[in-house]
Amino acid sequence: MIRKIVSGGQTGADRAALDVALDLGITCGGWVPKGRLAEDGEIPVDYPNLVEAEDAEPNTRTALNIRDSDATLILSQGELHGGSMFTASTAIRLGKPHLHVDLARLSVPDAVREITRWLALTRPATLNVAGPRASNDPLIYSKTKRVLEALLLYDD
């Protein structure tokens, strides 16, 4: 059972994960860049339990969130690029379970089934959720939110 959701606080997939956790009463948090920096400015203080990393480099907070979670879920529409690709390679380097779900290839129900099977194997208490920022994929926030709501509303 997922007890905590963490993310880096960036717009897009990260912010959707935090919003779903807050909406469903799941503990959330995570490492964020120094100064709480995101592409839309400072990450709002409405998001609790976010800890500033020692520097503003996004890769630093990404690595810390992977390190401090039990597994990482990466949601995208298409192949991984940039920070999402760094997330996958860092999870591999740290020996942490990760799953990339391509929402351009799967419907919401199919994505939820794939993630549910993976979660049954990995059984993370703390799940790191990552994916593209909103400027790289304007639809990723809403798609991530729909997938996580469907997934977590039925999580035992």
Tell me what pLDDT residue 64 has. Answer: 98
Tell me what pLDDT residue 6 has. Answer: 99
Tell me what pLDDT residue 154 has. Answer: 73
Distance CA 14, CA 42 (A): 14
Tell me what pLDDT residue 1 has. Answer: 85
Closest to 14 in 3D by CA, of 137, 151, 152, 155 = 137
Tell me what pLDDT residue 28 has. Answer: 98
**Residue owning tokens 């799941």:** 26
Please name every residue paired with 100 in a beta bridge, in sequence order, or none if there are none: 74
CATH code of the domain in which 79 resides: 3.40.50.450
**pLDDT string in tens for the chain (156-residue length):** 899 999 999 999 999 999 999 999 999 999 999 999 999 999 999 999 999 999 999 999 999 999 999 999 999 999 999 999 999 999 999 999 999 999 999 999 999 999 999 999 999 999 999 999 999 999 999 999 999 999 998 754
Distances in whole angstroms, Cα of residue 74 to Cα of each of 34, 41, 42, 101, 130: 23, 23, 23, 6, 5
Contacts of 108 by beta carbon, 8 Å cutoff, 6+ apart: 143, 146, 147, 150
The whole domain housing 105 covers 4-153
The domain total for the chain is: 1
Contacts of 101 by beta carbon, 8 Å cutoff, 6+ apart: 73, 74, 75, 76, 111, 114, 115, 147
Distance CA 143, CA 105 (A): 12
Helix axes 58-67, 82-94, angle to 10 degrees: 40
